[in-house]
Amino acid sequence: MNKRYRVFIFCCFVLMLFLSCTFDFGNLPPYCISSPHIILNNEDVFDSSCGLFFNLKNTDAKTIAKINLVFSAYESSNKKPITTKYLNEMSVPVFLPHGESLEVFIDLEPFIFKIPDSDCSVDFFCIKEIVFSNGDVWKDVFYSYAYCIE
């Protein structure tokens, strides 16, 4: 009887631990993005000959004020990087209230050494930090929500 009592107490303790566990939804990304694309030779539309384009939707209740992102890109024909560094980091000021979407176009001319001759692809893209208008910050320190081709 004493052994059964100990097993019962142990099972109750384990059940209590399982029932007290919660999942923290606070670390999920507060955004939804489209697949990033490199757009070439559209100076009449974007005032740039090479740019990174993606759609961003705010899924958080707060207003997004700024995003910090990391990306790398290469020419599709020869797989050579088009930027001077493998991973490029930049900060983009945006104003994006809850539930709204925004088309983001980033001029890549300051990052590239030569305008690519052929189409380009993004092989790594990650929004690593979001700053909200109230001062709160969401971070993806380990690039858990990165967009990777390979």
Decide if 39 is inside a domain.
yes
pLDDT in tens, 33-57: 999 998 887 556 556 678 899 999 9
Residue 92 CB contacts under 8 Å (≥ 6 apart), including other chains: 66, 67, 68, 69, 104, 106
Decide if 41 is inside a domain.
yes
Residue 107 has pLDDT above 90, yes or no: no
Decide if 9 is inside a domain.
no
The predicted pLDDT at position 85 comes to: 81
Average pLDDT value for residue range 71-98: 89
The predicted pLDDT at position 42 comes to: 59
Decide if 66 is inside a domain.
yes
Where helices occur in 21-140 by DSSP H, the ranges are: 43-46
Decide if 10 is inside a domain.
no
Q: Are 130 and 56 in contact (CB under 8 A)?
A: no
Nearest to 112 by CA among 51, 37, 67: 51
Q: Are 88 and 72 in contact (CB under 8 A)?
A: yes
Mean of all residue pLDDT scores within the chain: 86
pTM to 2 decimals? 0.76
Decide if 20 is inside a domain.
no
The predicted pLDDT at position 28 comes to: 83
Decide if 15 is inside a domain.
no
pLDDT in tens, 12-28: 888 887 777 666 655 78
CB atoms within 10 A of CB 43: 11
Host domain of residue 121:
30-148
The enclosing domain of 129 has a CATH number of 2.60.40
Which one-letter amino acid corresponds to residue 37?
Answer: H
What is the number of structural domains in the chain?
Answer: 1
d(CA 17, CA 13) in angstroms, rounded, equals: 6
Decide if 12 is inside a domain.
no
d(CA 62, CA 97) in angstroms, rounded, equals: 7
Residue 64 has pLDDT above 90, yes or no: yes
3-state secondary structure at position 76? coil
Which one-letter amino acid corresponds to residue 88?
Answer: N
Q: Is residue 17 within a helix (H) or strand (E), and if so which, with residue range?
A: helix 2-20
Average pLDDT value for residue range 65-90: 88
